[in-house]
């Protein structure tokens, strides 16, 4: 395991992050406490130090387990948790990005985690109600109080993140150093705006669902679709929209590359994500020790350029406006007067 700087900071984090949404069985699909500990231990044995959880995960059990596991080595661990999602339905202030929910959620997380500070505190999802000024000032206050060290933002449009960091820079407040998003071979739309924005602001990117909800692992295929649908809630399948011909074709190509290398499809999918532009730190989620062991195997090889190109080709997306418009031959000719090919741009 190697280590990376967490965006525009001096914090050193492992090149893979352990996601603990599976720690706990309250939702009917997670890992037991014993199995969760095995997953945690395996990750640390591999050199990992970056642990990600959230107040809502398994109704708070994930934070409780993580707090117990890290207690003997708290100083070594880079601990990340999140706020925004409600844990008290019916209370309009028990969720959202506003200061009241931030303070209350942070205090509750500190108690469950049995620690007096959080290394990286994530805003979990943008609520489109709270002014960005309130969010950034409140987070800065928490940093000044010593309760959190760094801040990150998850599941938020690129223009809002850019606005927030620009405001923080101008006001002298703490800025976001990390961005958490869904990103994988079956979900490449962040390449349009979120990933370029992260590179422009020197933010680390921690993608979740790098296996596309199991599609890229080979868990599903056309023959198994009906079988899997009977075992998985219709709501989840509708929300993910992952079981389709395009994604099955991508999964087939991932399996093809995996067979050439002699590794698993999951390892190929994670390896592809690690190779993308910018500072990418994939989040690994597992329900068993064998799964985390397999995922960690992505560090043992590198994809060739030809293999990456094949995976890129089968999963390519349209960039959309204005990106495709600006990249068209006509506009390129007008922008650069026919000499674009002679200009070396070190920022690309």
- What residues act catalytically? 57
Tokens of 278: 């910018």
Q: Residue 206, Cα to own-chain centre: how many angstroms?
A: 4
Report the distance separating Cα 6 and Cα 36, nearest Å: 25
Report the distance separating Cα 70 and Cα 115, nearest Å: 9
> Which residues, in sequence order, are CB contacts of 249 under 8 Å at separation 6+?
314
- H or E element at residue 254: helix 245-261
Angle between helices 99-113 and 132-144 (to 10 degrees): 40
The total of other beta-carbon atoms located within 10 Å of residue 244's CB is 13
Helix or strand or coil: residue 151?
strand
Burial track 298-322 (b if 16+ CB lie within 10 A, e otherwise): bbeeebeeebbebbeebbeeeeeee
- H or E element at residue 179: strand 176-182
Contact 15, 1 (CB under 8 A): yes
DSSP bridge partners of 79 = 51
């Amino acid at each position: 395991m190697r280590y990376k700087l967490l965006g525009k900071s001096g914090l050193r984090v492992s090149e893979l992050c352990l996601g603990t949404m599976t720690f706990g069985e309250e939702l009917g699909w997670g890992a037991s406490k014993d199995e969760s500990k095995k997953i945690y231990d395996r990750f640390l044995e591999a050199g990992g130090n970056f642990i990600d959880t959230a107040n809502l995960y398994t109704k708070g059990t994930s934070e409780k387990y993580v707090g117990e596991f890290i207690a003997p080595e708290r100083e070594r661990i880079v601990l990340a948790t999140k706020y925004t999602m409600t844990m008290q339905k019916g209370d309009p202030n028990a969720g959202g990005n506003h200061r009241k929910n931030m303070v209350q959620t942070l205090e509750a997380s500190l108690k469950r985690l049995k620690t007096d500070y959080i290394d990286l505190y994530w805003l979990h999802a943008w609520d489109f109600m709270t002014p960005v000024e309130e969010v950034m000032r409140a987070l800065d206050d928490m940093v000044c109080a010593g309760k959190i060290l760094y801040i990150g933002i998850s599941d938020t449009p690129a223009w809002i993140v850019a606005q927030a960091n620009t405001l923080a820079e101008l006001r002298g407040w703490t800025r976001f150093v990390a961005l958490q998003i869904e990103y994988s071979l079956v979900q490449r739309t962040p390449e349009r705006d979120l990933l370029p924005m992260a590179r422009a602001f020197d933010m680390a990117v921690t993608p979740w669902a790098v296996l596309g909800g199991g599609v890229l692992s080979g868990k599903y295929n056309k023959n198994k679709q009906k079988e899997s649908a009977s075992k998985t809630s219709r709501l989840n399948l509708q929300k993910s929209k992952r079981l389709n011909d395009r994604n099955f074709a991508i999964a087939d190509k991932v399996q093809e590359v995996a067979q050439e290398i002699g590794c698993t499809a999951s390892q190929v999918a994670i390896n592809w994500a690690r190779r993308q532009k910018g500072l990418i730190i994939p989040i690994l989620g597992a329900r068993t020790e064998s799964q985390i062991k397999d995922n960690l195997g992505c560090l043992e090889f590198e994809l060739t350029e030809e293999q990456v190109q094949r995976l890129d080709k089968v999963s390519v997306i349209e960039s959309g406006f204005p990106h495709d418009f600006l990249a068209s031959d006509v506009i390129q000719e007008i922008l650069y007067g026919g000499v674009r090919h002679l200009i070396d741009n070190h920022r690309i």
